[in-house]
Amino acid sequence: MTNHVLLNNVDHKDLRIITARSAALGDNVMCAATFHQEFRNVQAHYPIFFRKEPGTSGFRPVAMFGFEEQENLFLKSDGWDATYIPLTIERQPFLIGFQQLRGDGGISRPVIHVNMDSPRISQTEGELVFLQHGGLSEYLERINSILHTIHNGFECDRAFVQALLELDLLESFALDVELDNGVQHRLVGFYTINEERLNELGGDALAALNSKGFLAPVYMAIASLSNIRALIERKTARLQLQSGRTDRAISGR
């Protein structure tokens, strides 16, 4: 559910945000959007893939957390098991909206919206959004910075993805995963960097990518795929834990 409204210090003077991480708070997602300026942090923990944006010919890089919908293998009973959480996850339940300015010929500016239907919304627990007299809390200052970074990142990513497409560097990708217990998963609908085509690029093409700040993120996206094995290990460990709980439940009857 979504109920996006413009954030303000009158209607939301007592608003608090629960910042813990759990499935009940909406963190049980398979992947989250990212952008190439964030790849350095993301690739330390998560595989980075690309997927088509619905209704367009464009692509969006994503950080993968699981192999099926509503599966986040980084979620544990005590929170998120990684030292870095992608910014599009951390910013929730806030998002960027646009407000048209009067007398400026239809120019709009980015503003902060909040999803009032989010389970993170509270009046009694969590981080204060506004100070007693209406000023911004340190938490909201952090969110404002995150939203600004996301907005700029998404804008710059258009050129990044276009460069990959022009050089024919994106290829469709299917991953067949067979776990230790014989359970199979097939990950489809995603794209990766074609290393063979990348290695065949001439010096001018590589120099052009580098001059735009795109070459390092390309290699980071490739390097991030080494995290697939760790993701499989997380999946196996979760299935073993669930199996153990089932066995204990049966034996306890």
* Per-position pLDDT tens, the chain of length 253: 578 999 999 999 999 999 999 999 999 999 999 999 999 999 999 999 999 988 777 899 999 999 989 999 999 989 999 999 999 999 999 999 887 766 556 677 889 999 999 999 999 999 999 998 889 999 999 999 999 999 999 999 999 999 999 999 999 988 887 766 666 778 888 999 999 999 999 999 999 999 999 999 999 999 999 999 999 999 988 888 776 655 454 445 4
CA distance 32 to 223: 18
Question: According to the model, what pLDDT value does residue 241 have?
Answer: 77
Residue 113: in which H helix or E strand, if any?
strand 108-115
Q: How far apart are CA 122 and CA 128, in angstroms?
A: 9
Q: Say what the pTM is.
A: 0.89
Degrees (nearest 5) of the Cα angle 68, 74, 77?
Answer: 115
Question: In the prediction, which pLDDT does 244 show?
Answer: 65
Which residues are within 8 A (CB) of 201 and not within 5 positions of it... i.e. 6 or more apart? 167, 209
Specify the pLDDT at position 196.
96
pLDDT at 16: 97
Which residue's structure tokens are 């697939």? 228
